[in-house]
Structure 1
C-alpha cells in the first residue's frame, strides 16, 4: 500500500504539471484500480471524455466495469474501443478488445469447431 501511495504522489505531481497528459491520467487510473476502483473509474472517465483516442483506456475501463458488475457499461466501452482501435489500425488493441467483448457476451469461439 505504501508503495502505491508513493507512486500515486509522484503521478499526481506529474498531473499537476501537465493535467492534459493522457499517459499520466492512465497511470493514475491504473494505480487506483488496485486500491480504490471507484476512483479509478473517475480517471478512466476523464480519459474517455478528454482523450478518446487513447486506446489503452477502453480495455482496462471495460474490465473494471466488468469487475464491478456493470456489464452494460463494459459492453459499451468495449464497443467504443473497437471502433477507435479499428480507426487507428491498431490490430493488437482491436484483438484484445474483441476477445474481451466476446468473453463478456458469452461468444467464446473454439478454434476446433
Structure 2
C-alpha cells in the first residue's frame, strides 16, 4: 500500500508538463524556421490580438480622436502660411520688401 501513493505522485509529476503543453498549444501560434530565419504565423497573431472584448469601443475612440475640426487644426495642415514659414521664404527681405529671397 505504501507504493501506490508514491507511484501515483510520480505519474502525476510525469503528466503535468504534458498537460501544461497542451494548454499552451491551444493558445500559441506556430513558428516556422526556414534557413535559420523564424517566420511567425501573422494571421494567428492578428487573431489573438483581435479577440479583446473592448476592441469595438477602442476602434470607435481611435476614429473619434483622429477627427479634428477644421478650426482646431494647425495652420500648416489647413494650407495657411505661418509666420515661421513666411520668414523662411522671405529670408533677409522679410518686412522690408515684397519680393521673396526664395521662390
Report the TM-score, using the length of structure 1 for normalisation.
Answer: 0.23
Between Structure 1 and Structure 2, which shows a larger proportion of helix residues? 1
Higher relative contact order (CA 8 A, sep 6+): 1
Report the TM-score, using the length of structure 2 for normalisation.
Answer: 0.25
Structure with max Cα Rg: 2
